[in-house]
Amino acid sequence: MEIYLNNMAGFRMRMQLHTFGKWMRILFFGVMLTLPAFAQLSPGDLQRAHASLEGLENCTQCHSAGKKVSAKKCLSCHTILKDRIDAGKGLHSQPEFKKCVKCHSEHHGRNFKLIHWQDGRKHFDHSKTGYELKGAHTEQECRDCHQPKNIVIKEALLSKKKDLKRTFLGLDQKCVSCHIDEHRGQLSNDCLKCHNMEKWKPATAFDHNRTDYPLTGKHVQVDCQKCHKPIQDNLYPDDRSYLKFTNIRFNQCSACHEDAHNGQFGKECNSCHQTDGWRHIRTANFNHDRTRFPLRGLHRKVACESCHKPGLPRQGLKFAHCMDCHEDFHNGQFADHPSRGDCDECHTVNGFHPSTFTLEQHQKSDFPLEGAHLAIPCIACHQTQQNQRIRRAGRSMLQMNRFVFTSTKCHACHEDPHQGEVDKFVQEGGCEFCHSVESWQAVQFDHQQTDFALKGHHRETDCVSCHKPEKTAGNQRIIRFADLSTKCQDCHQDVHHGQFESTLTTAGHVLIITDCSRCHTEENWQPDKFDHNRDAAFSLEGAHQSVPCLDCHKKVGTGDNSYTQFKPLDNRCSSCHGNG
Query: Lowest mean pLDDT: which of 13-17, 120-124, 208-212, 253-257?
Result: 13-17
Query: Lowest mean pLDDT: which of 152-161, 315-324, 546-555?
Result: 315-324
Instruction: Give 60 or 136, the one with higher predicted confidence.
Output: 136
Task: Give residue 19's pLDDT band: very low, low, confident or very high (50, 70, 90).
Answer: very low
Task: Give residue 399's pLDDT band: very low, low, confident or very high (50, 70, 90).
Answer: low
Is the pLDDT at 487 greater than 60, yes or no?
yes
Query: What residues have CB less than 8 Å from 210, skipping those under 6 apart?
Result: none
pLDDT of residue 155: 93
Query: Stretch 168-183: mean pLDDT, rounded?
Result: 92
Is the pLDDT at 32 greater than 70, yes or no?
no
SS3 string, 534-554, reads: HHCCCCCCHHHHHCCHHHHCC
Query: Stretch 187-212: mean pLDDT, rounded?
Result: 91
Rank 190-204, 265-279, 305-319, 428-442 by mean pLDDT and report only the highest: 190-204
Looking at residue 292, what DSSP letter applies? S
Task: Give residue 207's pLDDT band: very low, low, confident or very high (50, 70, 90).
Answer: very high
Task: Give residue 132's pLDDT band: very low, low, confident or very high (50, 70, 90).
Answer: very high
Is the pLDDT at 23 greater than 70, yes or no?
no
Query: Lowest mean pLDDT: which of 101-110, 211-220, 384-393?
Result: 384-393
pLDDT of residue 86: 93
Is the pLDDT at 296 greater than 50, yes or no?
yes
Chain mean pLDDT for the chain: 82
Is the pLDDT at 425 greater than 50, yes or no?
yes
Residue 47 CB coordination number (10 Å) = 19
Name the nearest CA neighbour of 63 among 11, 115, 109, 27: 11
Query: Stretch 179-191: mean pLDDT, rounded?
Result: 91
- 3-state SS assignment for residue 458: helix
- pLDDT above 70: percentage of residues in the chain: 87
Is the pLDDT at 254 greater than 70, yes or no?
yes
Instruction: Give 269 or 266, the one with higher predicted confidence.
Output: 269
Is the pLDDT at 392 greater than 70, yes or no?
no
pLDDT of residue 41: 57
pLDDT of residue 283: 67
Number of Cα atoms under 13 Å in the Cβ half of residue 61: 12
pLDDT of residue 339: 63
Query: Stretch 24-41: mean pLDDT, rounded?
Result: 40
Query: What residues have CB less than 8 Å from 99, skipping those under 6 apart?
Result: 71
DSSP-assigned letters across all residues of 198-228: S-SSS-TT--GGGSSS---GGGGGS-HHHHS
Whole-number Å distance between alpha carbons of 105 and 473: 79
Is the pLDDT at 210 greater than 70, yes or no?
yes
pLDDT of residue 38: 40
Whole-number Å distance between alpha carbons of 199 and 106: 42
420: left (phi over 0), alpha (psi -120 to 50) or beta: left
pLDDT of residue 340: 63
pTM of this structure: 0.42
Whole-number Å distance between alpha carbons of 553 and 484: 34
- pLDDT above 90: percentage of residues in the chain: 27
Is the pLDDT at 13 greater than 80, yes or no?
no
